[in-house]
Amino acid sequence: MTETELTQFRESTRAWLADNFPASLANKMLGYERISDPEMAQQLEAWRQKLAEQGWGAPTWPKEYGGAALSQPEARVISQEMAKIGAMNPIPLLAGMGVTMVGPTVLEYGTEEQKQKHLPGIASGEVRWCLGLSEPNAGSDLASLSTKAVDEGDYFVLNGQKIWTSGADISQWCGALVRTDSTAKKRDGISFVMLPMDQEGVQTKPIRLIAGASPFCETFFNDARAEKADLLGDLNDGWSVVKRLLQHERQSQTSARGAPANKADGLQEVAKKYVGTDGEGRLADADLRTRIANHLMDAQAHGLTVARITAEARGNPKVSAAASILKNSATKVAQTKSELTMEVMGNQGIGWEGDHFTSDELNNVREWLSGKAISIYGGSYEVQNNIISKNILGLPETTQKG
């Protein structure tokens, strides 16, 4: 696509957003579970439907699966123009793990029947997905999982327990990694199956975290049923499928979390507010000033690296081991920002409740606590370093192959 064509697409995108985006939703946190106002929820639903009709829930997917068949540069234009007016695309949030992880993996490994069955509901945000991967005794060593799937002809019967299953209690479908051959080496006897959550054999139990609200659940399979037609990839080759799925997860986590782009008070301004300034208008604490400057440079370097790797991919939607570099970089940026904000706020940054704390102060405490998980979920910081060492630096395998 030429620059002229991209400019024309940007103009048409801007015009469509002006005609269709409800101004009342600007700069709002858009998730059904976060909106109690019925009128606003109704507006959000209308906005979701318009996005789905445009195929912008998953804009790079083929049209026959609910996407818009757009290029990566066009998809970035949509995101950029939405950000300018404070618009958020709620579909990836409403689809749970669907748009960022399950969908891209089904596009690569799924049969045509599976694509037609599952992708349109994900792309429209009407069907929410969770993932049954980790278990109480199989975390970073995921291949040690013990949940079994027994072949019963046209279907599998699942028994076992999953943990940290994000959104399991509100999801309609689950993609689960299960053991289908107990006699094979642990990575060779695993399969990836998709199953409906609304069945008697599936129970979920939310997990309460220190930060308060939590998306995590325990998930129990007690003679749960997964149809053979919903086996993703080949039997006993689920390890290949899940490795690809986790690459997609890391790719989706490469943007460091922080305040919305339209928020006026950046970290520098927050620091000046709480710490104060010197006679030249600079942050009074010189050491803190240096550390904030270093953080801002890290954040800028991360953003530029994301842009460079994206540009080098030349529109190729496939992800690589570079996602592990970006995942760890995003983790460092996000956690450093939370730590600095806590330090800047001082006593006001450690409150849990009470009238003498602002909503920003209370939210920061919860962000700081929940942000500790960033270096664990999606594959821990150390797991990413192993991937980088083997697949990018070419260092020898020191654990096990696979």
What's the structural domain count of the chain? 3
Q: What pLDDT is attached to residue 32?
A: 43
We report the CATH number of the domain holding residue 216 as 2.40.110.10
Q: Are residues 346 and 381 in the same domain?
A: yes
Q: With 80 as the cut, is the pLDDT of residue 178 above it? A: yes
- Considering the chain, what percentage of its residues have pLDDT values greater than 70? 89
Rounded to an integer, the average pLDDT of 172-181 is 97
Q: Which one has a higher pLDDT value, 230 or 313?
A: 230
Q: Are residues 259 and 370 in the same domain?
A: yes
Q: CB 397: neighbour CB atoms within 10 A? A: 10
Which residue out of 126, 249, 361, 367 is catalytically annotated? 249
- Residues paired with residue 165 on neighbouring β-strands, in sequence order: none
d(CA 253, CA 332): 12
In contact, 143 and 185? CB cutoff 8 Å: no
Q: What pLDDT is attached to residue 316?
A: 54
| Domain assignment present for 108 | no
In contact, 348 and 271? CB cutoff 8 Å: no
Lowest-confidence segment of 108-122, 266-280, 322-336, 374-388 by average pLDDT: 374-388
- Given pLDDT bands bounded at 50, 70 and 90, which one contains residue 181? very high
Half-sphere exposure of 182 (CA within 13 A, CB side): 6
d(CA 65, CA 101): 15
In contact, 392 and 320? CB cutoff 8 Å: no
- Which residues, in sequence order, are CB contacts of 281 under 8 Å at separation 6+? none
- Given pLDDT bands bounded at 50, 70 and 90, which one contains residue 371? confident
Q: Are residues 263 and 378 in the same domain?
A: yes
Q: Are residues 82 and 134 in the same domain?
A: no
Query: What confidence tens digit (pLDDT) does each residue in 298-311 have?
Result: 988 888 887 777 66
Q: Are residues 211 and 265 in the same domain?
A: no
Q: Rounded to 10 degrees, what is the CA torsion of 177, 181, 187, 191?
A: -30
Sign of CA dihedral 31, 33, 36, 37: positive
Catalytic, 249? Answer: yes
Q: Are residues 289 and 331 in the same domain?
A: yes
Q: CB 311: neighbour CB atoms within 10 A? A: 11
Q: Are residues 216 and 321 in the same domain?
A: no
- What DSSP character marks residue 216? -
Rounded to an integer, the average pLDDT of 321-345 is 86
- Considering the chain, what percentage of its residues have pLDDT values greater than 90? 51
In contact, 262 and 82? CB cutoff 8 Å: no
Query: What confidence tens digit (pLDDT) does each residue in 11-62 have?
Result: 999 999 999 999 888 877 654 445 667 888 888 999 999 999 999 999 999 9
We report the CATH number of the domain holding residue 14 as 1.10.540.10
| Domain assignment present for 308 | yes
| Domain assignment present for 245 | no
Q: Are residues 174 and 66 in the same domain?
A: no
- Given pLDDT bands bounded at 50, 70 and 90, which one contains residue 295? very high
| Domain assignment present for 246 | no
Q: Are residues 272 and 178 in the same domain?
A: no
Residue where the block lists tokens 């962000």: 367
| Domain assignment present for 139 | yes
| Domain assignment present for 171 | yes
Q: Are residues 225 and 263 in the same domain?
A: no
Q: With 80 as the cut, is the pLDDT of residue 247 above it? A: no
Q: Which of 209, 236, 263 is the last residue of a domain?
A: 236
Q: Which of 67, 94, 121 is the last residue of a domain?
A: 94
Q: What pLDDT is attached to residue 349?
A: 85
- Given pLDDT bands bounded at 50, 70 and 90, which one contains residue 121? very high
Lowest-confidence segment of 90-94, 159-163, 337-341, 358-362 by average pLDDT: 358-362
Q: What pLDDT is attached to residue 262?
A: 38
| Domain assignment present for 110 | no
Q: What pLDDT is attached to residue 20?
A: 95
In contact, 104 and 59? CB cutoff 8 Å: no
Interhelix angle 286-313/267-275, nearest 10 degrees: 170
Q: With 60 as the cut, is the pLDDT of residue 200 above it? A: yes
**To which H or E segment does residue 131 belong?**
strand 129-132
In contact, 232 and 110? CB cutoff 8 Å: yes
Helix, strand or coil for residue 166?
coil
Q: Are residues 265 and 346 in the same domain?
A: yes
Query: What confidence tens digit (pLDDT) does each residue in 210-230 have?
Result: 766 678 899 999 999 999 999
Q: Are residues 44 and 154 in the same domain?
A: no
Q: What is the mean pLDDT of the chain?
A: 86
Lowest-confidence segment of 97-101, 279-283, 287-291, 294-298 by average pLDDT: 279-283
| Domain assignment present for 67 | yes
We report the CATH number of the domain holding residue 303 as 1.20.140.10
Domain that holds residue 384: 253-391
10 Å CB burial of residue 94 (0-12, 13-18, 19+) is: buried
Q: Which of 236, 267, 301 is the last residue of a domain?
A: 236
